[in-house]
Structure 1
């Protein structure tokens, strides 16, 4: 819901940061892998109930994830014939799915161990993530093949909804800030993601039928 506004607000500072990082040893794919490693480390430390460490690692992971795209676009402008954008986009979405899923599992383990939280709300979140991811990935693939893709500067065609990347970052951060209430937040979040998934299925279906 807030992704478009967040991208507009963060575009200039992220572009400046990408310019500062534009060095031979730093590549968009390496930033993606760094974000993946930090995200998995955040999940592991959440599972150990090291909440503040997990929060710092989570935010650093999402910062790295936010910088790989601006750096990739900067490199493509400087070297239009270089290519590699599709491979980087594929790596990025795979890393995001691993990090988000691992984050849910890590918080569930940590909250259950430290606060006796139930598991089932986190399982509902994972199910909602699965349906939501299936909807937008299937739409993106078919839209690309039929010439109906949505070009907003990202590698895939994203259908909007209540739960997007910005909201996901905020909710995962909230879990780490308030682990004692994480399962209640997870229950609400599962409902929000489920509504988004249904919306994406309906909108994608209508768009592809048009």
Structure 2
């Protein structure tokens, strides 16, 4: 339940921040972007770690698939944030109403919510799903690296 509540709150903060911006309110750390991405990384990482600890101890499952997910998240997040920062500084950001310039990918918020929810609901198969999810996130990371590089050239 806490996982789903956190994701519902995450889904609501973007539209609320855009509404504030449209009404002329200043865009700052309190309007969504900074806290949002920080909270996302905290929630995603801690969920992966928590599921890994739970399933490896309760079901004698391997921990390596969860390490692969964390590595894929790390590279994906780095590509995402590096693009946003450099695009902003060079005046080439994507203005879609979000605080950060966001390059889309295969692994987005909805897919992440579904995968993490399935891990929590079906922990006996979580490690098998983790291998597949790590691959999907890695493809997203590579895609973001490629598109980001080409966009910034």
Note whether the superposition's TM-score is higher than 0.5.
yes
Moved over 6 A (4+): none
2:101 paired with 1:157: yes
Q: List aligned pairs for 1:109-120, cutoff 5 A.
A: 109-120=53-64
The C-alpha deviation readout for 1:129-170, integer Å capped at 9, x for no partner, is 000000010000000111111122211111111111111111
Relative contact order, higher structure (CA 8 A, sep 6+): 2
Are the equivalent residues in 1 in contact too, given 2:84–2:93 (CA < 8 A)? yes
Partner of 1:94: 38
The number of residues matched between the two structures is 152
Residues 1-210 of structure 1: pairs in structure 2 closer than 5 A: 56-78=1-23, 80=24, 82-87=25-30, 88-209=32-153
* Deviation of the 1:73 alpha carbon: 2.6
Q: 1:72 touches 1:85 (CA, 8 Å); kept in 2? A: no
Q: Distance in 1 between matches of 2:114 and 2:72?
A: 17
CA contact (8 A) 1:86 1:155 kept: no
Q: CA deviation at 1:86?
A: 4.5
- Counterparts of 1:108 and 1:184, CA distance in 2: 12
Please say which of residues 85-94 and 131-140 is displaced more in the overlay.
85-94
Which segments of 5 or more consecutive residues in structure 1 lack a partner in the other structure?
Answer: 1-55
CA RMSD of aligned residues (A): 1.3
Q: Matches of 2:66 and 2:134 in 1, distance apart?
A: 8
Larger gyration radius, structure 1 or structure 2? 1
Distance (whole Å) between structure 2 residues aligned to residue 160 and residue 70 of structure 1: 18
Residue by residue over 1:75-106, the C-alpha shift from the partner in whole angstroms, topping out at 9 and shown as x without a partner, is 3334x1x4144443111111110000000000
The 1-side partners of 2:123 and 2:40 are apart by: 22
What is the TM-score of this pair, normalised by structure 2?
Answer: 0.94
